[in-house]
Chain A
Amino acid sequence: MNDFPVVVIGTSAGGLDALRAVLPALPVKLPRSVIVVQHRSADADNFLAEFFNDCCRLPVAEAEEKELIRPGHIYFAPAAYHLLIERDMSFSLSVDEKVNFSRPSIDVLFESAAQACGARLIGVILTGANADGAAGLQTIREAGGLAVVQQPVGATAYYMPQAAINAGPVDYIMELAEISDLIRKPPCPKNTRKY
């Protein structure tokens, strides 16, 4: 049984290196979709997706609007657009105002993911230098999903993971390698609540 078909990840400063420690380790036939918001400049091209497609075992691409989310795939939010998940497990894009000075915004992805997936969702906050994602991670947890944060000590930029921890209870505070393991083999949902 697949308790967590969707994993959402948010990161900004230092994200490239952090994602390199998490994504390439994921095995083929991962029964989950991994969806990533990495803050970057509005005119960035799809370098990120191409870069990870080259070094990951799973196919990596930028999410397209109305595309159905498939297991065993890694998706990046395109530059300058918010990425959202619909109830029918397809992607939507928007050019709504920036949220937390960011578009794509992690909060926007996380909140829509919580609405679409409920408890069957893992939210992950990695290194970064602003507080985007902190509120969204709480929304995920309140909907019964799993909230995971990179250990801020030792992160390239501690601010984002620390803000996520300060915003309320989270389920795991972990090193990058452990996060990768958790995405491969998440714990049984019922045994995970520590608070």
Chain B
Amino acid sequence: MEEREIKEIETDLLLEAIVRLYGYDFRNYARASLNRRIQQAVDKTNCATISDLTARIVREPEFFQRVVANFSITVTEMFRDPEFYKVLREQVLPYLATYPFIKVWHAGCATGEEAYSLAIMLEEEGLLERATIYATDFNEDALENARAGIYPLEQMKQYGSNYRQAGGRGSLSEHYHAQYESVIMEAKLRQSITFSRHNLTVDQVFGEMHLVLCRNVLIYFDRTLQGRVLRLFDDSLVNSGFLCLGSRESLRFSDTAAHFVEFVAKGKIYRKRTVP
């Protein structure tokens, strides 16, 4: 049998062991990028094969916790895709402004940069007091970072430029305090966001939302899991609520597509149809 087929079987067994022992379900993740992370874990832990990695994961819960942290990719930025944020600010926030209170679910928030970006815009548009932002992820380490709201100073230059392109009204530096080599986001912003654990593969809807953002998370899932997650968002949203996906994601392949209309194509922003 070819090596790549053996690896595929080894990977199936690894994922099966993980879900049965620890409840994390990676079986419906897109395999190609998961394969890379598994291979990295094999190399990093000096295992000879994926099977060796599985053997240790099965017997050593602490070892598993270290490995699984690397299965989740938390690469993110503030105002990633400035054009998207510009559209959100100019075309979506005016609708949200008509509600007495605004509930936002940011799913797959990683270390929180995008959630703070949104909070900054809501603050500048005078909507923050009325807004509750739930930002969720299944990676507890990332959430810990997000709650602290502390980021390296060196990244702020790039983020500041994103912020301006996204139509920022002032200067990004008005929203954080710099100390030595890092910055901490304004207390007001930190208090406006509730960061909590939520696993999109198994957990349920937890409230009615006006806006759901889930960007660059669905690309890691296969079609089946994408379908589950999109149904979750559909069920969470109020009539005429907004759903924002990553710049390369779409509803194209899911049956929930029929429940949404494209609000703006470029920004991948959809609006839930009104169900009578």
- Which positions 228-276 of chain B face chain A at CB distance < 8 Å? 246, 248-250, 253
Q: Known contacts A94-B219, A115-B35; is A143 also within 8 Å of B4 by CB?
A: yes
CB pair A118–B2 under 8 Å, yes or no, is yes
Closest-by-CB residue of A relative to B246 is: A95
Q: Which one of B26-34, B148-156, B169-177, B192-200 contacts A?
A: B26-34
**What is the 8 Å Cβ interface bit string for chain B, positions 150-171, against chain A (1 contact, 0 not)?**
0000000000000000000000
Taking the complex as formed, is A181 at the interface, i.e. its CB lies under 8 A from any CB of chain B?
no
Neighbouring B residues of A32 by C-beta, 8 Å: none
Closest-by-CB residue of A relative to B29 is: A92
CA of A95 to CA of B35 in the docked complex: distance in angstroms? Answer: 15
Neighbouring B residues of A3 by C-beta, 8 Å: none
Distance of B111 from chain A, by nearest CB (Å): 13
Interface size bracket, A side: 20 to 34
- Which positions 81-103 of chain A face chain B at CB distance < 8 Å? 81-82, 84-87, 92-97
Neighbouring B residues of A84 by C-beta, 8 Å: 30, 32-33, 36
Taking the complex as formed, is B190 at the interface, i.e. its CB lies under 8 A from any CB of chain A?
no
Contact partner of A112 (CB less than 8 A), chosen from B2, B32, B246, B249, is B32
**What is the 8 Å Cβ interface bit string for chain B, positions 1-20, against chain A (1 contact, 0 not)?**
01110011000000000000
Taking the complex as formed, is A20 at the interface, i.e. its CB lies under 8 A from any CB of chain B?
no
CB pair B33–A115 under 8 Å, yes or no, is no
Contact partner of B36 (CB less than 8 A), chosen from A66, A96, A114, A143, is A96
Which B positions have Cβ atoms within 8 angstroms of A?
Answer: 2-4, 7-8, 30-33, 35-37, 73, 75, 216, 219-220, 223, 226, 246, 248-250, 253
6 smallest beta-carbon distances between A and B, as pairs: A84-B32, A112-B32, A94-B33, A92-B30, A93-B219, A92-B32
Q: Other than the known A93-B248, A96-B33, A116-B32, what 8 A-B pairs have Cβ atoms closer than 8 Å?
A: A66-B223, A82-B33, A84-B32, A86-B31, A92-B30, A96-B36, A96-B73, A111-B36
Task: Provide 15 A-B residue pairs closer than 8 Å at the C-beta atoms, listed in order of the A residue.
Answer: A65-B249, A66-B226, A66-B253, A84-B30, A84-B32, A92-B219, A93-B248, A96-B33, A96-B37, A112-B35, A112-B36, A115-B7, A118-B2, A118-B4, A143-B3
